[in-house]
Copies of this chain bind each other. A is one copy, B any other.
Amino acid sequence: MRAVGTERDRLTVPQGLAALSLDALASVAYGPEAIVLVLAAAGARGLDFTLPVTLAIVVLLAALTFSYRQVIAAFPNGGGAYAVAKAHLGRRVSLIAAASLIIDYVLNVAVSVSAGVAALTSAFPSLYGDRVVICVAVLALITGANLYGVAESAKVLILPTVVFVVAVFTVIVVGLLRSHPVTAPTPVGPATETVSLLLLLKAFASGCAALTGVEAIANAVPTFRKPRVVRAQHTELALGGLLGSMLIGLALLIGHFHVGPNSTKTVLAQLTEAAFGDNAAFYVVQFTTVALLALAANTSFGGMPVLTSLLARDHHVPHVFALRADRQVYRHGVLVLSGAALVLLIGAQGDTQALVPVFAIGVFIGFTISQVGMVRHWRQQRGPGWRGRALLNGIGAVLTAAATVVELIAKFGKGGWLVFLAVAVLVLLFEAVHRSYAGIGRALRVGEVPGPPVQERSLVVVPVGAVNRLTQEAIGTALSLGDEVRAVTVVHPDDDEGPSESHVRQAWDAWHPQVPLTVLSSRSRSLTRPVVDHLRELAAAGEHERLVVLIPEMHLPHPWQRLLQNQRGVLLDRAVRRHTDAVVCRLRFRIELPR
């Protein structure tokens, strides 16, 4: 969800399609391939089932499209699986939905990046050996762009989306019109198993990866231009229509050209080459695919911070994830997402089809939860025609639940268990964080009116070095703040080059600022230890109720000049805050230098 600005900045239908549906549309780059890869085990006979399996997936897509059309109407403030489940299915189920969504965001990044790199290496096979390095580089690029806040504009995204969709349809039409392929695709190998129901279910389960991303529009209704619900619904229908047509078209073309799987050339690349030959058009399609998949990976970086900020507001993840304003704080979500995707990319050695089988599991858990939640929603509302609506979402729920079960059976051994484990671990973490925040709330007595604030007697301790303008400023400030002020300094009697105690005392007495100086003599070379020990003694003596340490520092205007400052202030600040209960104040004394 992008930052909500003025009405003019919000999305129209084509912009919504580009900004929110790009990862769903881009999944045609790996979805059909996932089907072919499974069916090829049964040879040419198996590949004949590409179209039927694809049609089953498109039926599911239709159910999802109409179901989500209703979600949009029911949750105009953004109806992600987490929000729907929170409203209608309880906290625990909502956390399962959130965990599966987070896993999807991570998998979307990993799958999109590796599929994009596969499209690139299909065009330039010599790069195939370096695919993991290229994947990491692309991921680093996307991460960097998000860390430094390159906001993509929906308008900018329209062009690559349109080019990609047009290119895929052109491949389909040109290909189907040809009686023979220009360049022969990889033939299907001999069958190693027969066409069984399990094989078809596996193909269906893997191909469902093509449906990932269809929920994104429903999550982001507030980003549409008015009338928001209508525009979002139109966008959802357009997405369903486009994605369904592309999937059916590609399935027809796969059957038409008898395309088999090839580890170094994607199915989409083979179809493109078969339709156009190895010419400029082929490279245009490949480059568009690369660009679109990189942008598809990028959509996770937009979605994950919204989800984590919702979770943070509900105290399920650390509150830093809810700090959306200051750019550096977006970092948390971006870095977590990027780090997890990096692990997956390296673990899978940049192989898309090693990741795709598990991708759909998390997505379908989320689909099922939101559909079930919607049935509950209509039953509670009981508005006009609620039965029809509940039935539609109910059909969606049954189909997605069935698909989830199929996926689990088909892929549990192939990494599906890992998704389960990850969901369980995430839910336990959410719960642990929630418990901790509840404890903090009790400690802060949130909800109660606290007693009146108590004014106490204060002692300000000022660690000083030499006597100079900075010291003058620091003691003046301390006098303005405290009921009593004491200066402290540390001397190292073992250090021949440093100042001696008598020398320091002499300089102080020459100044006579009416503030007592305590000279701490230390044999250890540590600067912070003697000060911390002294503060603890003062606190233990208990003469003052409020102990404050005022650390004076010089401040130089230019960043490179700041290298000239020593880090005493930083070290002292850290040590005092770690080891004592004193309030730490830091005073900056600005120094203007020439240049």
Contacts and interface: CB of A to CB of B under 8 A. Distances in A.
Interface of A: 3-4, 77, 313, 318-320, 322-326, 328-329, 433, 436-437, 439-440, 443-446, 448-458, 466-473, 475-483, 494, 496-497, 510-511, 513-515, 524-528, 545-546, 548, 550, 554-556, 561, 563-568, 571, 577, 581, 583-588, 590-594
A473 B444 CA distance: 10
Given A436-B561, A451-B472, A468-B445, A323 B567 contact: yes
Contacts of A511: 449-450
A584 B585 contact: yes
21 contacts: A4-B494, A77-B496, A326-B527, A433-B564, A436-B561, A440-B554, A440-B564, A443-B469, A444-B468, A445-B468, A446-B468, A450-B467, A450-B471, A451-B472, A452-B514, A453-B513, A456-B477, A481-B546, A550-B583, A581-B588, A583-B588
A592 B443 CA distance: 8
Nearest to A525: B325
A318 B563 CA distance: 6
Given A439-B594, A585-B583, A565 B319 contact: yes
B577 A326 contact: no
Contacts of A4: 494
Nearest to A594: B439
B480 A323 contact: no
Nearest to A451: B472
Number of copies of chain A assembled together:
2
Contacts of A497: 313
A451 B511 CA distance: 8
Contacts of A455: 476, 479-480
A458 to B, nearest CB: 4
A481 B479 contact: no
A18 to B, nearest CB: 25
Contacts of A456: 476-477, 480
Contacts of A450: 467-469, 471-472, 511
Contacts of A3: 525
| Residue among A478, A527, A593 facing the most chain B CB atoms (10 A cut-off) | A593
A273 B567 CA distance: 53
A318 B566 contact: yes
A315 B444 CA distance: 48
Contact of A524 (B325, B457, B550, B554): B325
Given A554-B444, A584-B585, A480 B467 contact: no
B564 A326 contact: no
| Residue among A313, A446, A481, A524 facing the most chain B CB atoms (10 A cut-off) | A481
Contacts of A323: 527, 566-568, 571
A426 B444 CA distance: 55
A13 to B, nearest CB: 25
Contact of A526 (B318, B325, B524, B526): B325
Nearest to A591: B443
A446 B472 contact: no
- Listed from nearest, the 8 A-B pairs whose CB atoms lie closest are A325-B525, A453-B475, A453-B476, A585-B585, A450-B472, A319-B566, A455-B479, A444-B468
A81 to B, nearest CB: 19
B437 A564 contact: yes
Given A319-B565, A480-B456, A513-B453, A440 B586 contact: no
Given A467-B449, A564-B319, A457 B480 contact: yes
A471 to B, nearest CB: 7
A571 B446 contact: no
Contact of A566 (B320, B524, B564): B320
Contacts of A326: 526-528, 571
A263 B74 CA distance: 74
Contacts of A470: 444
B514 A440 contact: no
A592 B497 CA distance: 45
| Residue among A433, A469, A556 facing the most chain B CB atoms (10 A cut-off) | A469
B586 A584 contact: yes
A364 B510 CA distance: 49
Given A325-B524, A481-B481, 19 more contacts: A4-B494, A323-B527, A324-B525, A329-B567, A329-B571, A436-B593, A439-B594, A440-B556, A440-B564, A440-B593, A443-B469, A448-B468, A453-B513, A454-B479, A455-B479, A480-B545, A481-B548, A581-B588, A584-B585
A322 B525 CA distance: 11
Contacts of A479: 453-455
Nearest to A450: B472
A408 to B, nearest CB: 32
A433 B313 CA distance: 48
Nearest to A492: B325
| Residue among A320, A483, A510 facing the most chain B CB atoms (10 A cut-off) | A320
Given A444-B468, A452-B513, A564-B319, A548 B458 contact: no
B476 A585 contact: no
Nearest to A497: B313
Given A450-B471, A456-B476, A328 B439 contact: no
A530 to B, nearest CB: 10
